[in-house]
């Protein structure tokens, strides 16, 4: 309140009748001031100024008080303080964790990850062309291993079968800090054939294609540079290995296989910029080169269930070269996969007069298609069903079909298919053979740990006299495979 206001109030006290109207005017003015101005603290209202105490105003009506409360600014000290929540416990860096889902795994912060793997595979099969009883359940394929990542830069994997003469499957380390340049060393599969390099868990059929089993190199010890360049437009793999893979490797001293082998592969995803589950398309080309000493080739032809229908009786000497063209398309719940593989083996100086003969040739191709009936996206895999068994669904169900062929001969015999071939070790036009197979399959994934496959195969040989059933060119085989793994 101003000093002039107090002086006027003193005068009114001296002459109340004369100043009655002025007093009420002063009260009304003060009330209007209270409505429009911030509330003055109690200490300010009651503080004496010039020995005179400021008058106290009568309380306002409730409606007016409520209106004033909405416009008045409360001191900061009067604001209700929010209840403080207890601080969240931060995960300690380097904390050790052991997880069990989806598989046993050890974690040390974000720097160390080690996964423990195991797989048991049982198979029951029966074939009209079987040379022995194959209807028994085979549980000999048991595999254990570990895989993981260190410091987000080094990946590793070690796995082996618990039985067999060649138990080791994978044993490698891979420096993968940079996408465009990575380096791998150890025992692993050569970069050749999309079917051969697809893991057993993700195989569409109980067995790989005839071409991949017979003509792809498989695994060997060596080193490889690989990566993706041009904004992931091109993937490359280039490596050097001790030999040209375990698929053609033999301990038979009468058979020869490739020595030091150079392998490379290029892949591209032309639809990678279209972000859709319907555009997972990959095309590729691969090649390997190795040298053969003089002897009989180790490459041979076998049926789907492993019965011989072609064994080379022809001498080779020179280079063994492999080439492959591959395509994989996985739109939504569907997939289409195809591949053509060709292997040539030189026969330098193997003619009757020490001249070069036409190289031996092996060719294989396949086309396969699948459909996930229960709607899973093929590119994501079917090991995680949308509706697992016992959780409101039946798991993932997939149907599959594959048509394939594997043929053997020489360049001269392929050029003159009507000419009768010879079995002489130094023949130019050799006696070859071929096998064509049709496979119908059903795959069932009840949950992430279990997989069942049912295959029916019809095979037809060009020359049944070299096959398991001389005089019978076509035969049927049935396979049921159970796989349990984590």
pLDDT tens profile 271-319:
888 888 888 999 999 999 999 999 999 999 999 999 999 988 899 999 9
Q: Respond yes or no on whether the N-terminal peptide bond of residue 178 is cis (omega within 30° of 0).
A: no
Which alpha helices (DSSP H) does 15-149 contain, by range?
16-36, 42-46, 62-71
Mean pLDDT of all residues belonging to the chain:
83
pLDDT exceeds cutoff 50 at 171? yes
Q: 53 vs 332, which has greater pLDDT?
A: 332
Of 45-49, 147-151, 289-293, 367-371, the poorest mean pLDDT is in: 45-49
CB atoms within 10 A of CB 333: 20
> Per-residue pLDDT tens for 113-151?
999 999 888 888 888 887 655 555 555 678 899 999 999
pLDDT exceeds cutoff 80 at 30? no
pLDDT exceeds cutoff 80 at 32? no
Q: How far apart are CA 395 and CA 119, in angstroms?
A: 19
**Domains and their CATH numbers in the chain:** 3-67 (no CATH), 96-485 (2.40.160.10)
Evaluate whether 257 touches 273 at the Cβ level (below 8 Å): no
Evaluate whether 422 touches 429 at the Cβ level (below 8 Å): yes
> Can you give the pTM of this predicted structure?
0.79
Q: Which two tokens stand for residue 253?
A: 């001293």
- Strands (DSSP E) found in 75-153: 96-99, 105-108, 112-127, 138-150
Q: How far apart are CA 473 and CA 346, in angstroms?
A: 30
> Per-residue pLDDT tens for 187-236?
999 999 999 999 888 899 999 999 999 999 999 999 999 999 998 889 99
CB atoms within 10 A of CB 276: 9
Q: How far apart are CA 123 and CA 58, in angstroms?
A: 98
pLDDT exceeds cutoff 80 at 331? yes
Q: Which helix (H) or strand (E) holds 8?
A: helix 3-14
pLDDT at 141: 79
Q: How far apart are CA 148 and CA 100, in angstroms?
A: 15
**Closest to 300 measured CA to CA, from 167, 477, 459, 466:** 466
Task: Please tell me which of 24-33, 67-76, 312-321 the model is most confident about, judged by mean pLDDT.
Answer: 312-321
Q: Which residues sit opposite 213 in a β-bridge?
A: none
pLDDT at 11: 43
- The phi, psi pair for 157, rounded to 5°, reads -155, 135
CA dihedral 306→310→315→318, nearest 10 degrees, is -60
Q: How confident is the model at residue 100 (pLDDT cuts 50, 70, 90)?
A: confident
């Amino acid at each position: 309140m101003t000093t002039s206001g107090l002086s006027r109030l003193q005068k009114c006290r001296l002459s109340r009748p004369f100043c009655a109207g002025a007093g009420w005017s002063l009260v009304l003015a003060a009330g209007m001031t209270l409505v429009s101005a911030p509330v003055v603290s109690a200490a300010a209202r009651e503080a004496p100024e010039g020995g005179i105490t400021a008058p106290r105003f009568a309380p306002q009506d409730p409606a007016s008080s409520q209106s004033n409360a909405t416009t008045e600014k409360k001191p900061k000290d009067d604001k209700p303080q929010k209840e403080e929540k207890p601080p969240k416990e931060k995960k300690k860096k380097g904390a050790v964790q052991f997880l069990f889902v989806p598989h046993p795994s050890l974690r040390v912060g974000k720097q160390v990850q080690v996964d423990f793997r195991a797989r048991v595979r049982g198979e029951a099969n029966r074939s009209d062309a079987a040379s022995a009883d194959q209807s028994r359940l085979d549980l000999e394929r048991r595999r254990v291993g570990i895989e993981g990542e260190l410091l987000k830069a080094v990946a590793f994997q070690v796995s082996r079968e618990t039985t067999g003469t060649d138990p080791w499957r994978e044993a490698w380390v891979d420096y993968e800090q940079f996408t465009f340049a990575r380096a791998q060393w150890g025992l692993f599969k050569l970069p050749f054939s999309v079917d051969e390099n697809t893991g057993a868990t993700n195989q569409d059929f109980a067995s790989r294609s005839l071409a991949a089993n017979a003509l792809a190199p498989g695994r060997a010890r060596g080193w490889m540079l690989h990566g993706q360049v041009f904004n992931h437009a091109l993937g490359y793999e280039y490596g050097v290995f001790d030999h040209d893979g375990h698929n053609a490797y033999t301990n038979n001293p009468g058979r020869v296989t490739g020595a030091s082998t150079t392998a490379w592969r290029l892949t591209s995803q032309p639809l990678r910029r279209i972000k859709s589950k319907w555009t997972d398309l990959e095309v590729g080309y691969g090649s390997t080169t190795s040298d053969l000493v003089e002897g009989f080739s180790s490459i041979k032809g076998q049926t789907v269930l492993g019965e011989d229908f072609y064994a080379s009786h022809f001498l080779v000497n020179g280079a063994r070269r492999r080439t492959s063209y591959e395509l994989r398309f996985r739109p939504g719940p569907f997939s289409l996969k195809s591949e053509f593989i060709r292997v040539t083996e030189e026969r330098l100086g193997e003619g009757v007069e020490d001249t070069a003969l036409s190289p031996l040739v092996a060719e294989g191709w396949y086309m396969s298609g699948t459909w996930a009936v229960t709607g899973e996206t093929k590119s994501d895999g079917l090991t995680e069903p949308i509706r697992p068994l016992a959780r409101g669904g039946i798991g993932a169900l997939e149907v599959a079909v594959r048509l394939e062929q594997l043929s053997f001969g020489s360049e001269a015999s392929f050029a003159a298919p009507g000419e009768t071939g010879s079995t002489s070790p130094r023949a130019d036009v050799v006696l070859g053979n071929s096998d064509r197979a049709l496979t119908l399959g059903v795959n069932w994934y009840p949950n992430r740990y279990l997989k069942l496959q049912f295959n029916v195969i019809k095979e037809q040989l060009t020359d049944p006299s070299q096959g398991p059933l001389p005089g019978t060119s076509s035969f049927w085989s049935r396979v049921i495979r159970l796989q349990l793994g984590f």
